[in-house]
Amino acid sequence: MSMSDLALSQTLSNQLSNKMTEVQTLQTQIASGQALNQPSDNPAAVTQVLALSSQASQITSWQANAETASSWLGTANGVANSVIETMSSANTLLLQASNQGAQTPGGYEAIGRQLQGMVTNLLQLANTQYDGHALFAGTAATTTAFDASGNYLGNNDTRTVIIGAGPGSGQSVGLSVPGTAMFGSGASNVFATLTTVANELLTGSPTSGAISSALTALSGNFASAQQASVELGNASQQSSMAGASLTTQLSNVQANSANLKDVNLAQATTQLQLDTTSYQAALWAASQAIPETLMKFVP
């Protein structure tokens, strides 16, 4: 066999080997349903898939945080509505009490007892827990936001979670508001406001000045609670919108990853048929071109 025959034989052998590799790769892809079964299949695509996997993991984490935020805020919003409703009822009672010409000592005392009950109810609302945490204690490690006397035991920080990309550590949303934002602080909080006027009413002969002062103080408490409720509503909307956006983002990332990883069965099957036919034709051509080699014995 001449040197030219040897060179031709080597060239044909390499071509046949490459074609066989293509056939085997397609067979593996069709069997597994995956276009990427090993890094060497498509190194660039594997790198992209790894990056998309990392991105999907981050989005999933943000989704979990958004769901957590929605749960916390759902509870907080429910409490805020009850607080505002209770304050509104207290305001109605104080307006009744301010009509001194229509009240009796017994009537004042009855209103005082109702207000005491409202203070108890408000304290229960203020100490609402979620997942073992005092909802309105800020970030303080306490299960009670206010003690029985209405003293605040939390801090003025806000517990937050990250729900998306953004400057610094990312886009965050608050899970609640500090108790002082919802119920007021110190001697001017709603517990002090209602307790003071309730004690005055229980005497049966409250002064008009005491009732007027309570109405003014309660108006401030009511305004604070409404503002806190607005903040909770905005945070709830933010977490809901982020959750919806993250769901879309995750779907897109997963689709892009699938496009890289998943094999197109119809296309791969057609290509396998073409490559198989091409391989068999190449075998026959090689056996005819170089009859002296073992190529002619390859089926």
In tens, the pLDDT along 146-188 reads 999 999 999 999 999 999 998 888 999 999 999 999 999 999 9
Can you tell me the distance from the alpha carbon of 124 to that of 240, in angstroms, rounded to the nearest whole number? 28
- Three-state DSSP at 146 gives strand
Q: For residue 190, give the H/E element and its range.
A: helix 190-201
Q: For residue 108, give the H/E element and its range.
A: helix 105-126
pLDDT of 30 above 80:
no
Can you tell me the distance from the alpha carbon of 123 to that of 125, in angstroms, rounded to the nearest whole number? 5
Q: In the prediction, which pLDDT does 33 show?
A: 47
Residue 285 contacts residue 15 (beta carbons within 8 Å) = no
pTM for the model stands at 0.75
Q: What is the mean pLDDT of residues 48-64?
A: 92
- Three-state DSSP at 172 gives strand
Q: What is the mean pLDDT of residues 213-232?
A: 98
The pair of structure tokens assigned to 111 is 């209103």
Q: What is the mean pLDDT of residues 227-233?
A: 98
Can you tell me the distance from the alpha carbon of 69 to that of 86, in angstroms, rounded to the nearest whole number? 25
Angstrom CA distances, 87 to 4, 66, 167, 193, 215, stand at 101, 31, 39, 11, 11
Q: In the prediction, which pLDDT does 215 show?
A: 98
The pair of structure tokens assigned to 173 is 């949303």
Can you tell me the distance from the alpha carbon of 52 to that of 54, in angstroms, rounded to the nearest whole number? 5
The pair of structure tokens assigned to 86 is 């209770």
Average pLDDT, the chain: 84
Q: What is the mean pLDDT of residues 127-134?
A: 95
Instruction: Identify the residue whose tokens are 């695509």.
Output: 45
Select the more confidently predicted residue: 47 or 112.
112
The pair of structure tokens assigned to 1 is 């066999």
- Three-state DSSP at 208 gives helix
Half-sphere exposure of 298 (CA within 13 A, CB side): 20
pLDDT digits (tens, 9 = 90+) for 253-297: 988 887 776 554 445 455 545 555 655 556 556 665 555 554 444
Q: In the prediction, which pLDDT does 49 show?
A: 78
In sequence order, what are the beta bridge partners of 152?
A: 146
